[in-house]
Amino acid sequence: MSAYQTLSIDREGPLAVVTIRREQALNALSSQVMAELTAAVAELDADAAVRVAVVTGAGKAFVAGADIAEMKDLGPAQAQAFAEAGGRLGDALEASPKVWIAAVNGFALGGGCELAMACDFIYASEKARFGQPEVKLGVIPGFGGTQRLARRVGVAKAKELCVTGDLITAADALRIGLADAVVAPEALLPTVRELAGRIAANGPLAVAAAKRCIHLGQSMTLAESLALEQREFGALFATADQKEGMTAFLGKRAAQFTGS
């Protein structure tokens, strides 16, 4: 039985599906939800059997935003602490050695859009809606929205979405590069599972190293990021997975990676 009160984790071989279960609040991110999601990331990071994780929402929403009822009466210091909790969750997802896929089945607004952007991929249902409507509440995105959105869709489009608070369709999210794929609602999880299977078939240490190089390289000079890549490339030659992968290739068989 799960120790979590606001989410569930279902393991399907190398895939873990994390489902936020606050349907009555459209899966809004409360302090408890964020703490439990951050703990779930750590739990799955420590599980060698899991290679890919999916986060999605129960019911008709992915995450409709941060919990306004909880935020309404916060003072400045409390509000900053609340934002920092969201920041820790985003940082945990980006630093995770696992690949995280956001399966956006409905509303991904405010904190929900920010949660999705902290994942490695965003796959969306045709019914999904995205947006950063915080300015309509007199605040700004606090969980990375102003920064990750600009990195995903460009500065001008990020400014437009953050200062208008407009919602956009899944098709528009795909067009501007916010979503990576849009599929029929009934095809969302099957499509994500297929992607997860292709990722899980690869060397997990190599997948983690590729993710790490790309993420860390964004804040480095080109020379620094290339040096990082070269170090990571060399380090993988000390692993059993490298020996298995290249031996399997030369032997014309499928590699059996162990993550060691």
CATH number at residue 156: 3.90.226.10
- pLDDT classification of 2: cutoffs 50, 70, 90: low
Are both 64 and 161 inside the same structural domain? yes
Q: Report yes or no on 175 lying in a domain.
A: yes
pLDDT at 3: 87
The stretch 105-119 carries a mean pLDDT of: 97
Q: Does residue 58 lie within any of the structural domains?
A: yes
Buried b (16+ CB within 10 A) or exposed e, 215-245: ebbeeeeeeebeebbeebeeebeebebbebb
Tens of pLDDT, residues 203-222: 999 999 999 999 999 999 99
| 259 in a structural domain | no
In a domain, 1, yes or no: no
**SS (HEC) of 145-194:** HHHHHHHHHCHHHHHHHHHHCCEEEHHHHHHHCCCCEEECHHHHHHHHHH
The type of residue at 69 is: A
Query: In the annotation, is 114 catalytic?
Result: yes
Of 12, 36, 84, 114, the catalytic one is 114
Judge if 117 and 208 occupy the same domain: no
Are 138 and 218 in the same domain?
Answer: no
Segment 31-52, tens digit of pLDDT: 999 999 999 999 999 999 999 9
Q: Does residue 12 carry a catalytic annotation?
A: no
Considering the domain architecture, whether residues 13 and 49 belong to the same structural domain is answered as yes
- CA atoms of 150 and 148, how far apart (whole Å): 5
Q: For residue 137, tell me if it sits in a domain.
A: yes
Whether 160 maps to a domain, the answer reads yes
The verdict on 165 and 184 lying in the same domain is yes
Across the range 54-79, mean pLDDT stands at 95
Options 12, 126, 134, 244, the catalytic residue: 134
C-alpha distances out from residue 227 to 191, 216, 233, Å: 35, 12, 10
Residues pairing with 129 in the sheet? 107, 169
> 213 in a domain, yes or no?
yes
Q: Let me know whether 161 and 218 are in one domain.
A: no
d(CA 140, CA 135): 6
pLDDT tens readout for residues 158-190: 999 999 999 999 999 999 999 999 999 999 999
Residues 143 and 208 in one domain: no
Residue 1's pLDDT is what?
Answer: 37
Tell me how many domains the chain contains.
2
Q: Which domain holds residue 155?
A: 7-200
